[in-house]
Chains A and B, each alone.
Chain A
Amino acid sequence: MRTNRPSTEQLALHATSIRKNLIRMVARNGQGYVQQGLGAADLFTQLYFCEANLDSDDPNWPERDRIFLSTAHNSAVFHATLAERGIIDPELLETYTQDGSPVEINVSERLGPIVEATCGSLGQALSVAIGICQSAKRKNQQFRTYVILGDGELQEGQTWEAAMYAGSNGLDNLCLIVDVNRLQVDGPTENVLSMEPVDDKWRAFGWATRSVDGHDFQQMADAFDWARSKKGKPTVLLLNTLVGKGIPFLEGQMSHNMVFPQHVADKALQVLESGHG
């Protein structure tokens, strides 16, 4: 169990800062992945500030925990988190989606080794992650591997090929985080192609599962502790998140690539500045 985590208050400050940055980043294009970014800001905060062993001075540190962002389009929150954590220069955020910038709308390893794989084509990261986990087991390396997967990606067949392998081979150095925001391009996930019961599916594939509130830092901390303590099985955390979280007038608006003009962004920033999020 981790004892040196930042306080919930400190985490909330980081999450707010990340939300402000991602709002500014998306607003410059007038559209983008703002809703799922706001929804995932708390889980990114928990993972990058409490759970993963990273060296912000050496992103290529061989013993670092690996974090794969399979939902590579959730890039605003990803880059904002890296800046908040001191891994990339905050000024890079200003170049988000600009021609020539390594801060792309689908996260690319052009950014550097902190991007563990280039994953815009959905459903591929889990396979790369289990390759690393299997290799690390063979070589007795102690780092852990985290994968952030969208619930829509559960529809990709490759996800289940990888799930079968990890379950069958007991890769307990792997922790999968499913961002259950119930949102995909064509609408709510249950209307496009329902995947329920999701946790039964993972259990059937040999995984240990836990479903938690993806906005409750304490619940998430307990879940990550539980995942680290689980031996002989890969773990999956189903983190229930709310799209638009933190901005009351955006919460629950199911838009995958939302029109997001500057005046709406300004209103959202006001909410966060005033602390009423």
Chain B
Amino acid sequence: MGDGEGMNNNLHLGDFTSNASTGATVPNYYGDALIELAASRPDIVALNGDLAPATECAKFKEIYPDRFFSPGIAEANMVGMAAGMARNGDVPFVHTFSVFISRRAFDQVAMQVAYPKLNVKLSGFLPGLTTLLGVSHQAIEDMALMRSLPNMTLIEPCCASQIPAAVRAAAEHQGPVYLRMHRPARPMADNEPLLPLHIGKAQMMKEGSDAIILASGHMVAEALSAANTLDEQGAKVSVANIHSLKPLDVDFVIEHARRTGAVVTAENHSIIGGLGSAVAETLLEAGVHAKFKRVGIQDTFAEGGSTDYLFDKYGLSAKHIVAAVQQLLS
């Protein structure tokens, strides 16, 4: 094969996402961004819960062995350790799957990271319904949990081209950050421009006056696809990337809800407690009367499966967003 590194990546993908079956070698956008940052930031260290390949830390470990720590399969302890390191001036990035850093270690995150406002970055992988590994590995309420914690900032890049900015934003922010990381299934196109990311700001991806889709993470691509379909049907729909769920760009949400009068939220997450809830709270408190629909996991647990299958079955794909917008506009 001759491409030792690429083969190594494929053999040690480790997260049972759909890209294993495509055979595509996808760069470690997250891992490379962290390594690049670590070169100029000697305070950055990484902790890993026995998931280095799946959380793109294997290369960091090789390059910075003295800044990489393995607490093993022990997430509660790992979060506490990161807090201790932050108290001693380090900027620890904690790596595991989203579900384990939220469901499993929530008390530790609340008491040892959020309450003391420590400079700990929690990088959670496998968000929502993106894995064959099933219900135990599917974080469907991580954003709801993290959003409810005082002092916590929530970032979710929409795609590969926004990952470097997301990692930088997390590192530059002083305080706890939950970084919800979806590993792209395909490499970026050669000419794809990098997207910026500003905490507390929404990002308009497509302009239209009939409705707005507020989407996060993986769902931004679905929303753009839905908007193109709606275009063909004569409905002009805006799509915004809500990469910062907390703080939410409240002014943006209110302005565009008023302008369009129809709001669909789209998240790879339960409809309870995440983006849909945050937008509903914002609009109701601001007295905005807009038609409103939440696309997301409809208060149910799921199962293992390919992302396409799960998005189709649990109502997260572009066609579901199209149907939601049509319902509001009819």
Please report A residues at the B interface, Cβ cutoff 8 Å: 109, 116-121, 124-136, 138-139, 141, 157-158, 161-162, 164-165
Contacts and interface: CB of A to CB of B under 8 A. Distances in A.
Contact of B111 (A124, A133, A157, A162): A124
B71 interface: yes
Contacts, number: 95
Contact of A135 (B76, B78, B88): B88
Given A117-B112, A138-B66, A138-B67, A131 B84 contact: yes
A128 B72 contact: no
B227 interface: no
Contact of B116 (A118, A129, A135, A138): A118
B80 interface: yes
A131 B111 contact: no
Interface string B62-98: 0000110101101011111111111111101000000
Interface of B: 45, 66-67, 69, 71-72, 74, 76-90, 92, 107-108, 111-112, 115-116
B74 A134 contact: no
A36 to B, nearest CB: 21
Given A118-B116, A164-B72, A129 B84 contact: yes
Given A128-B81, A134-B81, A135-B88, A161 B111 contact: no
B67 to A, nearest CB: 7
A121 B74 contact: no
Contacts of A124: 76, 80, 107-108, 111-112
A118 B87 CA distance: 12
Nearest to B67: A138
Given A127-B78, A134-B85, 8 more contacts: A117-B87, A120-B111, A121-B111, A127-B79, A127-B112, A129-B84, A141-B88, A161-B76
B107 A121 contact: yes
B71 A161 contact: yes
Nearest to B107: A121
A165 B72 contact: yes
B84 A109 contact: no
A117 B85 CA distance: 12
Given A117-B112, A117-B116, A118-B116, A128 B87 contact: yes
Contact of B87 (A116, A120, A162, A165): A116
Contacts of B76: 124, 127, 157-158, 161
Contacts of B72: 161, 164-165
Contacts of B82: 131
Contacts of B71: 161, 165
B74 to A, nearest CB: 4
Nearest to B105: A158
Contacts of A130: 77, 80-81, 84
Contact of A128 (B45, B69, B74, B84): B84
Contact of B85 (A125, A131, A165): A131
Contacts of B45: 135, 138
B88 A132 contact: yes
A120 to B, nearest CB: 8
B83 A131 contact: yes
Contacts of B84: 117, 127-135
Contacts of A141: 88
B77 A132 contact: no
Given A117-B116, A118-B115, A127 B88 contact: no
B88 A128 contact: no
Contacts of A161: 71-72, 74, 76-77
Contact of B81 (A116, A131, A139): A131
A116 B115 CA distance: 13
Nearest to A127: B80
Among the interface residues A116, A135, A158, which one has the most CB atoms of the partner chain B within 10 A? A135
11 contacts: A117-B84, A124-B112, A127-B80, A127-B83, A127-B112, A128-B80, A128-B83, A129-B84, A132-B85, A135-B84, A135-B90
A23 B20 CA distance: 65
A164 B74 contact: yes
Contacts of A126: 80
Given A109-B116, A117-B116, A118-B111, A158 B77 contact: yes
A86 B102 CA distance: 41
Contacts of B85: 131-132, 134-135
A162 B67 contact: no
B47 to A, nearest CB: 9
B74 A165 contact: yes
B142 to A, nearest CB: 20
Contacts of B67: 138
A114 to B, nearest CB: 13
Contacts of B115: 118
A139 B67 CA distance: 10
